Chain A
Amino acid sequence: MAADPVRDWSVYDRPALRDAVSVANARGREILVAVDGMHCAACVARVEQSLRDAGSVRVNLPARTVEFSWNPARTPLSGLLRALDEAGFRPQVFDDDASLRAAARARRRELARLGVSAILSMQVMMLAWPAYFPDWQVEPALDQLFHWTQWLLATPVVLYGGWPFFRNAWRALRQRLPDMDVPVALALGIAYFASAWRTVAGSGEIWFDSATMFVLLLGAGRYLEGRTRSLATARLRRLAGSQPLTARRFDGVVVVETPVAELREGDHVQVRPGEAVPVDGALLGVPAELDEALLTGESRPVRRAPGARVLAGSVNAGLQALTVRAERLGAATHLSHIARLLNRAQAERPAFQQLADRLAGAFILGVLLLAALGAFLALDRGADTALAIALAVLVASCPCALSLAVPTAVAAASSRLAGAGALLANPAALARLRDADTFLFDKTGTLTRPGLRIAEVRPLDALDTPRALALAAALEHDSVHPIARAFAAVPATLRAGALRHEPGGGVSGTVEGVRYRLGAAAAVPAAGAALTWIELADDTRPLALIGLAAPLRPEAEATLAALRQRGCALELLTGDAAAAAEALAQPLGLHEVRARASAEDKLAHLRALQAQGRVVVAVGDGVNDAPFLAGADVAVAMPQGAALAQARADVILLGDSLAPLPLLLDTARRATRIGRQNLAWALAYNLAVLPLAMTGALAHWMAALGMSLSSLLVVGNALRLER
């Protein structure tokens, strides 16, 4: 774990801020926070453990969020947040998001509808069976009892469970864009009301069983499909919510932690190294190095001179605290604008889905016309037969299986992948992934773990290695610079005083009366080109050289071998020096290596490969390679990377591991195959059954059974993917 000092969370106890980030419930208040560093079931248990004092803790591992309620009168919120932070899960608090909460409520409502439909339609079926054996005479009184009971049981299923179909159909009709819900609602309405009428009249066939089965099966397909989408939304919301909620404001001479909502224009705000700028404003005092990855996707730090405009959400990547004069706050900031864009992108349906919908849409118009035509032609055989034919056409040839064919395959594939640690953010990518034959990897943060570790120490003087490390660790103790994190594992045996950050990324301080300095090495030792070297020196001479390396991900070798086995070409593209890239690529068996590639070089190479007809998957973390990711056929992003790169990525490796990549490829291939099988079956079924229904050769129960089996087959076929 990085040895970041635990933050001061007490500002969240202020009523104004506390109420902005949480909502009241029966037991006190309820809050949803995102947490970093949660990867597995064991982490979930530890998160729960650290929130002992909170109530109803709900952890969502794929979305990396924790929801809990607490009683403000007994436990301060800051105590709970600190407990999480101390357990190694730094919470990320954001404005309470009504839309996220509404999505959770909608999901629960959908589940309730589905459950009610399932329980009751089974009861209806039990009572409906005598109707399927016309030769079997049931005494009339019993028959009546069965009919009235079925009506009672079917009413909640159709009116409550099937309500979304009626609501959507009405909306679609009002917008003059009939979708699949129109024939569904029509068939449901006809079946239900005609059956009710016949129950009262005491004669005629009733179709409650067909109606309830219809609601149940269609509802199940939709629920499965919706589950995946909500997961992706929650994940993206977390990225967009990275805006800081508190700021350090100068009050005269002291600095006070203040909720951002209480800041005014013109306030002076302090931003410590590693912290995010809370407002758009002007930089005062010293020049700054800012990481604007969240805003631009480019995470090479940019330099800003005093007086320049800085944007909320950029991170102070320098080594000094900055002072910013607030100019724009809250919703007016650039980051809020991006968050709004993200939300809008999420709301749009993927083009892929639209195609399936259009296909079904054309079919629907045909089905409606044919149902009317069939009923009209059968009018001379009596109104009852006409109604039965219309219903048979509506039910049997409703393109349910057709509209379920692809979405269920996608939903099942997503769910399988989410379980393995890969979030499929863009379902359309599955089709392109199937044809993928080339993988391009970024080096730092992708093939290697983010962060550096100490690889080698070369004492240059009488100094021994432990002493050199202890001195370096003491100097880096309070810094949040990436280099400093490498020293977090070194036991702190010495303390440094008078620490000062020096220009050029160095740090100096006094240990036991001697002034030491740690900074970039002047000369790189021979045979060490693969490492990043820093130098420990006192006032007169260098004392030791310390080589830092980014550790290779442990799963990288096996993953690359598995990909190669699947016939994919693998390449390494990196901005690093050739020696460092080769040192990494050799043991992995990567022969195609492009070192010193700028973001433009990477993109150009990618385009060249695509021009040869290759389908390219780019795996990166958005640091230096955002355009490259955006240009690839399929972009796979690491979770530690720049937020916007993830927002554009097709797949996010949530588990911070490369291991799901071969599975990703396999699942994509299977999912497209299964999607095609489903489509073929659904089309064949619908075309075959239509003439039968039109001529009245198809009894209502055959129609319902055919439709059900057809949909079940499609869903069942797709569910094979989850295994």
Chain B
Amino acid sequence: MEILFVLIPLSLLLVALAVGAFVWAAHSGQLDAGQDVAARVLRDDEPPRP
């Protein structure tokens, strides 16, 4: 069971990464309930710009 003394701190690191990513995403508006995200898939690709 000694391996837990390594694995638990390791898992803490991973959790910290996940939390950090979530907080960043929330604050930068990535998770805003915008309807455009769902609609984007319906849109044709943009024509290549000259």
Residues on A lying within 8 angstroms of B by beta carbon are: 41-42, 44-45, 47-49, 52, 56-62, 104, 107-109, 111-112, 115-116, 119-120, 123, 127, 139, 142, 145, 149, 152-153, 156, 227
- Beta-carbon contact of A153 and B12 below 8 Å: yes
What are 21 A-to-B residue pairs whose CB atoms are below 8 Å? A42-B42, A44-B35, A45-B36, A45-B39, A45-B40, A56-B29, A57-B36, A59-B36, A62-B35, A108-B27, A108-B31, A109-B26, A109-B27, A111-B31, A112-B22, A112-B27, A116-B22, A116-B23, A120-B19, A127-B8, A153-B15
Query: Whose C-beta in chain A lies nearest to the C-beta of B28?
Result: A108
Chain B stretch 3-19: residues in CB contact (< 8 A) with chain A: 4-5, 8, 11-12, 15, 18-19
Q: Is the CB of A111 within 8 A of B26?
A: yes
Say how far B13's CB is from chain A's closest CB, in angstroms: 12
Listed in ascending order, the chain B residues whose CB lies under 8 Å from chain A are 1, 4-5, 8, 11-12, 15, 18-19, 22-23, 26-27, 29, 31-36, 38-40, 42-43, 46
Residues of B contacting A227 with CB < 8 Å? 33
Task: Return the contact of B36 from the options A44, A123, A142, A149 (Cβ within 8 A).
Answer: A44
Q: Tell me if B's interface is mostly helix, strand, loop or mixed.
A: helix
Complex interface: chain A residues within 8 A of B42 (CB) = 41-42, 45
Using CB atoms, name the residue of chain A closest to B20: A116
- Which residues in A have their C-beta under 8 angstroms from that of B11? 123
Contact of A108 among B18, B32, B46 (CB under 8 A): B32
* CB-contact partner of B35 in A41, A104, A108, A111, under 8 A: A41
Instruction: State which of B4, B40, B46 has its C-beta within 8 Å of the C-beta of A142.
Output: B4
Nearest B residue to A47 via CB reads B36
- A59 neighbours in B (Cβ, 8 Å): 34-36, 39
Name the B residues within 8 Å of A116 (CB-CB).
19, 22-23
The distance in angstroms between the C-alpha atoms of A152 and B8, with both chains bound, is 12
Task: Assess the A156–B19 pair: CB atoms within 8 A.
Answer: yes
Q: Which residues of A contact B35 (CB under 8 A)?
A: 41, 44, 59-62
Give the residue name and chain of the B residue nearest to A59 (CB). Answer: B36
Cβ-defined contact, A119 with B1, below 8 A: no
> Which A residues are CB-close (under 8 A) to B32?
58, 104, 107-108
A58 and B34 contacting across the interface, CB-CB below 8 Å? yes
Name the residue on A nearest B42 (C-beta).
A45
**How far, in Å, is B31 (CB) from chain A's closest CB?**
6
Which residues of the other chain, B, contact A115 by a CB distance below 8 angstroms?
Answer: 19, 22-23, 26
Find chain A residues with CB under 8 A from B40 CB.
45, 48
A42-B42, A145-B4 known; A58 vs B26 contact (CB < 8 Å): no
Please name all residues of chain B whose beta carbon is closer than 8 Å to the beta carbon of A60 when the two chains form the complex: 33-35
Q: Nearest Cβ distance between residue A149 and chain B, in whole angstroms? A: 6
Indicate if the CB atoms of B12 and A152 lie closer than 8 Å. yes
- Apart from A45-B40, A48-B43, list 5 A-B contacts with CB within 8 A: A48-B40, A58-B34, A60-B34, A119-B19, A123-B11
Residues of B within 8 A of A104 (CB): 29, 32
